[in-house]
């Protein structure tokens, strides 16, 4: 990491429309490699003005007439000279901007030194206060733009922001694995097609998440395999293992001996140096969701009664979750109202294992629950009628799924 990225300059943008602000923000973040970050005016070290648009010209003119407390950078098509103001010619080039930002840093230190001197002299301080009041009376136009606060590290958490992996029926069975002793799609075996998450790594992870959230503390789960760090405030986990390794571990039924190796303890992310491996961060939800899918192997969690309706609290964040076959359809159907797992399979004409695996994942995140109200059991779920434009919607769907 370069020196300027460790302490990015905080800049405020003036006289730019929202799109220009956004472009500048991305420019500073991307080509300038985070040399500066866009913040609110009050928090800024440096003011950056657009020197060409009529509105921003007025703002700049007013700004330059006041005693400035921080460096000013002007972006303009023509040469711009004003005592103490720095210029970057448009179109703005990365090298030019970085060079001017370096100059601004030096100026900033100079401003800070002068300010300290003024504060040391009481007589001078009175004068400054007077000017400050004058500045307030002048009153700049209220800043109509939104400002942006960037999270420098968030972008580097590539696993967390990766788009979803999606499976259709073909290849899913091989990916998720199968169970030799049961056919989960056989109605006669539905009662046995459940599993207890507590018998697997999934159960320990769910417990650890619960403890972590309750304590509001970063914790480390030791499992005799690889340590997992859990961050309750940012809803993240950190694990130095790839998916195939985790998938293999997820499918193993843990015996009491393995379970005794599980422990959870407070941890400090900074002392463990996780900042250097930000790509190993994952969202807690995405992590638990896939773990539940791999543990399930087409079974449903034993807490769910497959003969009773279940509800879905809200749509899962599918773009960041492992998408099992028919998952979107199942979610859409359940958003219309509660149904039993077997009814879902019947209505959508799909194998029960796809409903069971979805139920396992959704239940692990607390998105799915068993209906408890009497009324929900009394009323038959609404019939799914094909929409008038089903042919058209199907063709759009085919196109999107490519």
Phi-psi region of 43 (alpha: psi -120 to 50; beta: other; left: phi over 0): alpha
| Pairing between β-strand 219-222 and β-strand 263-266 as defined by DSSP bridges | antiparallel
What mask of x and - would describe binding to other proteins in positions 299 to 318, judged by CB under 8 A? --------------xxx-xx
Using CB under 8 A as the binding rule, whether residue 155 contacts other proteins is answered as: yes
Q: Decide whether 264 or 365 has the Cβ nearer to other proteins.
A: 365
Enumerate residues 6+ apart whose C-beta is below 8 A from 41: 12, 14, 47, 143, 147
DSSP code, position 43:
G
Helices marked H in 167-306 — which ranges?
169-176, 201-215, 243-250, 256-259, 284-296
Minimum distance from residue 318 beta carbon to other proteins (Å): 6
The Cα–Cα gap between 386 and 347 comes to 12
| Pairing between β-strand 9-14 and β-strand 46-50 as defined by DSSP bridges | parallel
Contact indicator for 384, 350 with CB cutoff of 8 Å: no
Q: Decide whether 128 or 150 has the Cβ nearer to other proteins.
A: 150
Contact indicator for 111, 47 with CB cutoff of 8 Å: no
Using CB under 8 A as the binding rule, whether residue 335 contacts other proteins is answered as: yes
Of the candidates 148, 173, 217, 305, which one interacts with other proteins according to CB under 8 A? 148
The Cα–Cα gap between 27 and 90 comes to 13
Residues 336-395 contacting other proteins, CB under 8 A:
336, 347-348, 384-387, 389-390, 392-395
Using CB under 8 A as the binding rule, whether residue 210 contacts other proteins is answered as: no
- The CA distances from residue 179 to 163, 201, 233, 351, in Å, are 29, 17, 37, 15
Minimum distance from residue 53 beta carbon to other proteins (Å): 11
Q: Decide whether 84 or 171 has the Cβ nearer to other proteins.
A: 171
Of the candidates 147, 185, 207, 217, which one interacts with other proteins according to CB under 8 A? 147
Size of the site for other proteins (CB under 8 A): 58
Minimum distance from residue 280 beta carbon to other proteins (Å): 16
Of the candidates 2, 81, 163, 265, which one interacts with other proteins according to CB under 8 A? 163
Contact indicator for 25, 38 with CB cutoff of 8 Å: yes
Contact indicator for 219, 265 with CB cutoff of 8 Å: yes
**99-107, 161-169, 189-197, 293-301 -> range binding other proteins (CB under 8 A):** 161-169
Summarize as ranges the residues that interact with other proteins (CB under 8 A): 17-19, 21-22, 25, 29, 146-151, 154-155, 157, 161, 163-164, 166, 168, 234-235, 313-315, 317-320, 323, 325-326, 328-329, 331-333, 335-336, 347-348, 384-387, 389-390, 392-401
């Amino acid at each position: 990491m370069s020196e300027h990225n460790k302490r990015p300059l905080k800049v405020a943008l003036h006289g730019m429309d929202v799109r220009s602000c956004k472009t500048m923000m991305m420019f500073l973040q991307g080509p300038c490699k985070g040399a500066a970050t866009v913040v609110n005016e009050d928090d800024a070290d440096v003011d950056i003005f657009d020197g060409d648009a009529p509105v921003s010209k007025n703002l700049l003119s007013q700004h330059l007439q006041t005693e400035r407390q921080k460096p000013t950078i002007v972006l303009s098509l023509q040469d711009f000279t004003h005592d103490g103001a720095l210029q970057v010619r448009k179109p703005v080039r990365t090298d030019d901007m970085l060079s001017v930002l370096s100059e601004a840093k030096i100026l900033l230190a100079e401003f800070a030194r002068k300010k300290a001197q003024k504060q040391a002299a009481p007589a001078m301080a009175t004068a400054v206060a007077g000017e400050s009041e004058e500045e307030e009376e002048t009153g700049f136009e209220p800043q109509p733009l939104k400002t942006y606060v960037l999270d420098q590290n968030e972008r580097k958490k590539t696993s967390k922001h990766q788009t979803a992996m999606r499976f259709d029926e073909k290849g899913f069975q091989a990916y998720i694995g199968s169970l030799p002793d049961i056919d989960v799609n056989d109605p006669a075996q539905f009662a046995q097609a459940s599993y207890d998450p507590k018998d697997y790594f999934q159960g320990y992870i769910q417990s650890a998440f619960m403890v972590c959230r309750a304590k509001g503390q970063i914790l480390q789960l030791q499992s005799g395999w690889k340590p997992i760090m859990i961050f309750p405030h940012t809803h993240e986990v950190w694990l130095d293992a790839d998916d195939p390794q985790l998938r293999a571990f997820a499918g193993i039924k843990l015996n009491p001996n393995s379970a005794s190796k599980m422990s959870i303890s407070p941890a400090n992310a900074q002392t463990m140096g996780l900042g250097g491996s930000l790509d190993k961060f994952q969202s807690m939800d995405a992590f638990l969701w896939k773990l539940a899918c791999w543990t399930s192997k087409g079974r449903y969690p034993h807490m769910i009664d497959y003969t009773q309706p279940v509800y879905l609290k809200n749509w899962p964040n599918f773009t960041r979750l492992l998408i099992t076959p028919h998952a979107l359809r199942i979610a859409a159907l359940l958003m219309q109202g509660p149904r039993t797992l077997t009814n879902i399979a019947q209505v959508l004409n799909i194998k029960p294992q796809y409903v069971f695996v979805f139920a396992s994942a959704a239940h692990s995140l607390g998105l799915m629950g068993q209906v408890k109200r009497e009324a929900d059991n009394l009323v038959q779920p609404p019939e799914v009628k094909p929409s008038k434009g089903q042919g058209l919607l199907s063709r759009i769907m085919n196109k999107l799924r490519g």
